[in-house]
């Protein structure tokens, strides 16, 4: 099975 | 005071139609450079970034940076009332929590004024760096839409593989498997019919198809779509809006445990 990553795992909040 | 005029109200209507299923509320940031919007879907898996440059408008005036929080479904309801060839003028000022949409018919015989209530939206804006991508694929937007829709009937996820010769889209499900391979195609009459593959290194990534199918609602906005991929990074799906800006969609990949 694969994990669904969220965007915050890649980009920081401004 | 903010005022902006677009030759075609239909363009903004189409833009909002293409993103409103993904994000129902969003804040438009208005400044001298134009109108921008960045919003994530409620699951924080995908993001919409819209940029409309001020020079793409017939008239654009923003005295100071200004935020306009809007419910996109409500905005869509009003934009649907614009005639096919109507011009659109948007007006807002900080004193009122309203934005006015003026739809004017080509012969100026009909002028419709709709006022939409603005809202305060707390949103998390992400800092997305300008990155070099391992692979960039440009292809006809209708072809991309067909691929994701076709594969959506087979499986829930798509595995995208880019090599120097082709880009492959593969899906698997209970009923079986499907692979669609697109080769680079440069020798076309119209530039938008090209499939262009720029590859720094091969990539192989898996994404949830339902988001990509949702992104492809923007197909009517641009004849061509650009897909930017890097290993273990979100994909960028970009539709360029001629002479005014772009709509970009970001989607986080699925990664093996």
- pLDDT (tens digit per residue) in B106-161: 999 999 999 999 999 988 889 999 999 999 999 999 999 999 999 999 999 999 99
d(C-alpha B162, C-alpha B169), whole Å: 9
The pLDDT, as a whole number, for residue A8 is 94
The pLDDT, as a whole number, for residue B75 is 98
Listing from the earlier edge strand, what are the strands of the sheet with B157-162?
A2-4, B254-256, B203-208, B157-162, B166-173, B176-183
The pLDDT, as a whole number, for residue B195 is 96
Per-residue pLDDT tens over the stretch B229-245: 999 999 999 999 999 99
Q: What is the mean pLDDT of residues B169-191?
A: 96
Q: Kindly list the residues from chain A whose CB atom is less than 8 angstroms away from the CB atom of residue B46.
A: 7
| pLDDT value at B87 more than 80 | yes
The pLDDT, as a whole number, for residue B71 is 97
Nearest to B255 among A3, A7, A13 (CB): A3
pLDDT confidence band for A1 (50 / 70 / 90): low
What value of ipTM does the predicted structure carry?
A: 0.94
Per-residue pLDDT tens over the stretch B12-26: 999 999 999 999 999
* Residue A7 to residue B252, Cβ atoms within 8 A: yes
Listing from the earlier edge strand, what are the strands of the sheet with B245-251?
B66-71, B25-31, B34-40, B46-53, B245-251, B235-241, B224-229, B135-140, B196-199
| pLDDT value at B216 more than 90 | yes
Nearest to B47 among A3, A5, A7 (CB): A7
The pLDDT mean for chain B works out to 96
């Amino acid at each position: 099975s694969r994990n669904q990553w969220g965007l915050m795992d890649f980009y920081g909040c401004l | 005071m903010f005022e902006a005029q677009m030759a075609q109200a239909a363009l903004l209507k189409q833009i909002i139609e293409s993103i409103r299923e993904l994000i129902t509320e969003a804040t438009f940031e208005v400044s001298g450079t134009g109108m921008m919007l960045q919003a994530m879907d409620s699951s924080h898996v995908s993001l919409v970034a819209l940029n409309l440059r001020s020079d793409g408008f017939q008239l654009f005036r923003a005295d100071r940076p200004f935020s306009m929080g809007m419910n996109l479904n409500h905005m869509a309801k009003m934009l649907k009332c614009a005639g096919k060839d109507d011009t659109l003028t948007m007006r807002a000022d900080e004193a009122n929590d309203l934005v006015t949409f003026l739809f004017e018919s080509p012969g100026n015989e009909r002028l419709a004024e709709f006022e939409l209530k603005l809202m305060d939206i707390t949103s998390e804006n992400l800092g997305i760096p300008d990155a070099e991508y391992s692979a960039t694929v440009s292809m006809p937007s209708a072809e991309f839409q067909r691929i994701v829709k076709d594969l959506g009937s087979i499986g829930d996820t798509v595995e995208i593989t880019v090599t120097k010769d082709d880009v492959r889209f593969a899906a698997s499900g209970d009923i079986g498997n499907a692979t669609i391979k697109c080769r680079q195609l440069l020798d076309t009459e119209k530039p938008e019919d090209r499939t262009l593959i720029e590859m720094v290194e091969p990539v192989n990534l898996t994404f949830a198809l339902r988001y990509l199918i949702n992104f492809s609602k923007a197909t009517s906005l641009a004849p061509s779509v650009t897909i930017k991929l890097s290993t273990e990074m979100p994909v960028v799906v970009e539709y360029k809006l001629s002479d005014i800006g772009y709509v970009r969609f970001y989607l986080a990949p699925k990664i093996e445990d």
